[in-house]
Chains A and B, each alone.
Chain A
Amino acid sequence: AQTVTQSQPEMSVQEAETVTLSCTYDTSESDYYLFWYKQPPSRQMILVIRQEAYKQQNATENRFSVNFQKAAKSFSLKISDSQLGDAAMYFCAYRSSGGYQKVTFGTGTKLQVIP
């Protein structure tokens, strides 16, 4: 079974600064997808960024980028130029590429943005 580990329960960053959230995972599969979801106080799950394991290039979405290290099974999220609206819980998640789409989530990192 796949597992996703987020070792930072809470993080804080100054507005306009950069922060990196860590995530490691365990799998025996070679092809899969990794995600970062944002959950603001409204509790809506918002997809931030997605990475296909077969792609070596790290995904980027505006101020959000990932550092995907397949051999190390590491998938960190970097948020540049942090904004107050970035404050939320962030969940790292894994999904197999084959079969159906059950997603396995980490326990989350609560990000605080300090004005």
Chain B
Amino acid sequence: NAGVMQNPRHLVRRRGQEARLRCSPMKGHSHVYWYRQLPEEGLKFMVYLQKENIIDESGMPKERFSAEFPKEGPSILRIQQVVRGDSAAYFCASSPPKGSSTEQYFGPGTRLTVT
């Protein structure tokens, strides 16, 4: 059973460009979480999604950031018009349907560098 997959692992964007980060959850997992880790800091929750639904986006900046988890395909975290402050590692985690496990499995992260 493959783990949580994230791609790309490294992404370089110029200021003003768009960044698209992808996350494929573990097989059988229907819950996806995105976290951001700024340099020298811990992970901060951004958004929680289930298939076709955003459940909690309280940690996500109101502007330029959006997330989706379509019925088919990976979850996408999209950052429009990136700025230098968006440079960070973005982690995705997935978990099974509620009640079947307490575990949240993390992907390897995508390191975004904005130049």
Chain A interface residues (CB < 8 Å from chain B): 4, 33, 37, 42-45, 47, 50, 52, 91, 95, 97, 100-108
Q: A107-B42, A108-B42 are in contact. Are A44 and B98 (CB under 8 A)?
A: no
Provide the B92-107 mask, 1 if CB < 8 A to any CB of A, else 0: 0101001000111010
Chain B interface residue count, CB cutoff 8 Å, equals 23
A43 touching B42 in the complex, CB below 8 Å, given contacts A100-B98, A102-B48: no
Q: Which residues from B are CB-within-8-Å of A45?
A: 43, 91, 93, 106, 109
Q: Is the CB of A102 within 8 A of B45?
A: yes
Partner of B33, one of A4, A42, A97, A102: A102
> Which residues of B are in contact with A by a Cβ distance under 8 Å?
31, 33, 35, 41-45, 48, 55-56, 89, 91, 93, 95, 98, 102-104, 106, 108-109, 111
Which single residue of chain A is at the shortest CB-CB distance from B37? A43
- Chain B: which residue is nearest A45 at the CB level? B106
Contact A101 B104, beta carbon cutoff 8 Å? yes
**Given A42-B108, A45-B106, A100-B55: A107 touches B41 (CB 8 Å cut-off):** yes
**A44 x B44 contact (CB < 8 A):** no
Q: Is the CB of B31 within 8 A of A103?
A: no
Please name all residues of chain A whose beta carbon is closer than 8 Å to the beta carbon of B55 when the two chains form the complex.
Answer: 100
Inter-chain contact B33/A91, CB cutoff 8 Å: no
**B108: A residues at CB distance < 8 A:** 42-44
Contacts of B106 in A (CB 8 A): 37, 44-45
Q: Is the CB of A104 within 8 A of B98?
A: no
How far does the Cβ of B65 sit from chain A's closest Cβ, in whole Å?
17
State A103–B41 Cα separation when bound (angstroms): 15
Shortest C-beta distance, B42 to chain A (Å), equals 4
Set of chain B residues within 8 Å of A47, measured between Cβ atoms = 103
A-B CB contact pairs (8 Å), 13 listed: A33-B102, A37-B106, A43-B108, A45-B43, A91-B42, A100-B31, A102-B56, A103-B33, A103-B45, A103-B93, A103-B104, A105-B35, A107-B42
Q: Which residues of B contact A100 (CB under 8 A)?
A: 31, 48, 55-56, 98
